[in-house]
Amino acid sequence: MNTRLRAGAGRAPVDLPASLFPVDGFTRVHDPLHARVLVLEDSTTRLCVTVIEQTSIFDDQIARTKKILHEVCAVDPAHALIVASHTFSAPHVHPPGHAPAGEEERNARLGSAVDDALARAATDAVRTLRPARTGFGLGACRVNVQRDVRTSHGWWLGADDSGPTDDSVGVLRIDATDGLADRPIAVLMNYAVQSSVLNGSLTRSGDREVTADLAGATAIRVEQHYGADAVALFLVGAAGDQAPYLTAVRTTVEENGRLHRSDVQEAGHTLVDLLGDRLAAETIRVTDRTRTTEPTTPLQVVHDNVEVPAQLPPAGGLHALRPTTRYAFTPAGLTEAPVVAARIGDTVLAGLQAELNAGTGLDLKAASPFPATCVITMMNGAAKYMADAGSYDRITYEAMNSRYAKGAAETVTARLAELLREL
């Protein structure tokens, strides 16, 4: 079988004019959001990997994104892998009828701006298709930290240097066969951290700014290093319990159980720069030492829906959650969790909508028959947390704020490992 690979990549900023604001709690732009598209094809399959710098992408936008990619890139919707960068400092594109009161028109304009950026990035990706090689490299960088911390009132969000984490940096490098050896077409980075350095932070004037945060800062630095034509796609890993090592907003649990919040405000952007520089430097180091070869296996994409136990969302909503030693997890029957596995040369992508904890991601990598395995969350939709079984015993934030019951993560990862073996 002819497995000759071709690849093309594009990126485009999301145009958010001042007249759009305020929208979804944000009042202005600090740095632009982007859409990035990678198109891969061989003799039988065309595959598209897309990263949009949003917190999460709802089902209606996923459908719209797949339609755009089909129209622009001629990609089968089943072969479109769409990932949110998971920056917490971007306005949500709400489904029609679900925008905050009085913001329907601005929400629609926001959605159109994202769609336009996506179409431009996809157009460039198809335009630049050319023969390509791939290679995978692995490094390590500690810009993340375990965020589940034990307090006298129960487990809560903070920073625990001794807690489990996954500091591995997985890099899929894609080169043009006729290109410069030091100039990749695309760099796919897989790292387990939430892009939440500036989550909830306000400026001294009270503004909440749009920013691509850590994922965006890292991608921009990698692109600047390799030149204007290179595209860096940040694929968020099993980051459900992985916070940035430094954050602008610090929340502590007081002796009376109340939550105390402090904010370094504009200085938070310096933290983004520090962490972004560090993660980008390791990505570049790994990319530079990674040698690429022409794949000998065809592109593959397989999907499945895994039946798992469900639970009711927290009573009183997300903002009612507090550290506690008693919590009533309420079963809600069974539900399905969509999963996808894709093979690009000797590298595999194992993706799902839900946010896994780092320990679960490490378990899945260990169970994979491929040394080059990327675990990707926030793929093709958003489904909040899918915590490991121990998190339910400890009553962590991720376990309480989940639509999945204890055991779901273990069931899903076992099935994903099976799919990888089938590849």
Q: Tell me the per-residue pLDDT of 89-120, one tens digit each, with 9 for 90 and over.
A: 999 999 999 999 999 999 999 999 999 999 99
Task: For residue 315, name the pLDDT band (cuts at 50, 70, 90).
Answer: confident
C-alpha to C-alpha distance for 387 and 366, rounded to whole angstroms = 18
Q: What is the mean pLDDT of the chain?
A: 95
Q: How far apart are the first and last CA of the chain?
A: 16
C-alpha to C-alpha distance for 50 and 35, rounded to whole angstroms = 7
Q: Is the pLDDT of residue 1 over 50?
A: no
Q: pLDDT tens for residues 206-229?
A: 999 999 999 999 999 999 999 989
CA neighbours closer than 13 Å in the CB half-sphere of residue 346: 15
Task: For residue 180, name the pLDDT band (cuts at 50, 70, 90).
Answer: low
Q: Which pLDDT belongs to residue 302?
A: 97
As a residue count, the chain comes to 423
Q: Are 80 and 48 in contact (CB under 8 A)?
A: yes
Task: For residue 20, name the pLDDT band (cuts at 50, 70, 90).
Answer: very high
The model's pTM is: 0.96
Residue 395 Rama label (left phi>0; alpha psi -120 to 50; beta): left
Q: Is the pLDDT of residue 159 over 50?
A: yes
Query: What average pLDDT score do residues 144-149 get?
Result: 97
